[in-house]
């Protein structure tokens, strides 16, 4: 039996999220069905992060166990074949120790949120951005984002249905970057609460519109109540970008996708 780590990319549109659902199709369901074709029976897949319905992924990491003797390239190709026509692909596959976990071995996760800030709606980017018409003040949003960085009680920024035992999280990075008509918001932490990134983005939009002063972010944090923060941003603009492990899994970066190469500021440390 070999445990494999998979670098996975998917378009979240049309999926009920990562986690298997009783009535709706999920990314986990598609991957496990494909893996079962190779393993000759049920194969469980564990992801580094459970993305919500409509949320995309470029650097999701998944592990599964297979008894079949196969190399990484052939495994990725076989899974991709069996996952058609669903918009899920395995970008890379490497063997890992049996005790390794995509979820519990991770030491960091990063997300990117994209706002299209112009009068005209999205065409090519439709389904992958949040279209906001009024001109946003990126400087004010950046000042507000800085107040969220660090270790805080993020009760005001998590979903009411969040099942995490503690609302305490350490946010390592929350950058607001203007690139032409796009505003990129890059978030990094060891782990996130349910809807934390989308709730932070929804609140930063209020600051960008001038409806909130940046300092009100601190008031929202201190309130420890979901109603004290802004609305939840749509899922469309959110992408799960990468997972960090103590030892790099997928080589020298040659597997980086087009977006990562075209927008290096989003990924700079």
CATH code of 108-240, in short, is 3.30.70.660
> What per-residue confidence (pLDDT) applies to 254?
44
Domain residue spans in the chain? 2-102, 108-240
**Position of tokens 């009024």?**
134
**Position of tokens 């596959």?**
93
CB of 180 within 8 A of CB of 173? Answer: no
Q: Residues 203-227: what's their mean pLDDT? A: 97
The structure's pTM equals 0.91
> What per-residue confidence (pLDDT) applies to 266?
52
Choice among 52, 125, 143, 247 that is catalytic: 52
> What per-residue confidence (pLDDT) applies to 264?
53
CATH of region 2-102, choose from 3.40.640.10, 3.40.1160.10, 3.30.70.330, 3.30.70.580: 3.30.70.580
Quickly state the pLDDT bin for 269 (edges 50, 70, 90). Answer: very low
Question: Can 52 be counted among the known catalytic residues?
Answer: yes
Check the CA dihedral 33-38-44-47 and report its sign. negative
pLDDT at residue 143 tops 50: yes
- pLDDT tens-digit map of 24-69: 999 999 999 999 998 778 899 999 999 999 999 999 999 999 988 8
């Amino acid at each position: 039996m070999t445990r494999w780590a998979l670098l996975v990319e998917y378009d979240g549109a049309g999926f009920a999220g990562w986690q298997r659902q009783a009535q709706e199709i999920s990314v986990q369901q598609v991957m496990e069905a494909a893996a079962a074709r190779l393993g000759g029976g049920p194969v469980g897949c564990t992801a580094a992060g459970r993305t919500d319905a409509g949320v995309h992924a470029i650097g999701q990491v998944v592990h599964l166990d297979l008894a079949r003797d196969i190399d990484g390239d052939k495994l990725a190709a076989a899974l991709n074949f069996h996952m058609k026509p669903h918009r899920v692909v395995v970008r890379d596959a490497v063997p890992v120790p049996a005790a390794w976990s995509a979820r519990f071995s991770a030491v960091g996760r990063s997300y990117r949120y994209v706002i299209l800030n112009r009068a005209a709606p999205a065409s090519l980017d439709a389904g992958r951005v949040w279209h906001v018409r009024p001109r946003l003040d990126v400087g004010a949003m950046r000042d507000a984002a800085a107040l969220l960085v660090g270790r805080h009680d993020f009760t005001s920024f998590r979903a009411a249905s969040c099942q995490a035992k503690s609302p305490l999280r350490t946010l390592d990075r929350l950058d607001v970057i203007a690139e032409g008509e796009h505003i990129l918001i890059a978030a990094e932490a060891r782990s996130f609460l349910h809807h934390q990134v989308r709730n932070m983005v929804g609140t930063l939009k209020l600051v960008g519109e001038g409806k909130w002063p940046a300092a009100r972010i601190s008031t929202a944090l201190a309130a420890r109540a979901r109603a004290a923060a802004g609305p939840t941003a749509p899922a469309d603009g959110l992408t799960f970008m990468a997972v960090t492990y103590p030892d790099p899994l997928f080589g020298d970066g040659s597997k980086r996708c087009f977006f990562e190469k075209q927008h290096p500021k989003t990924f700079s440390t």
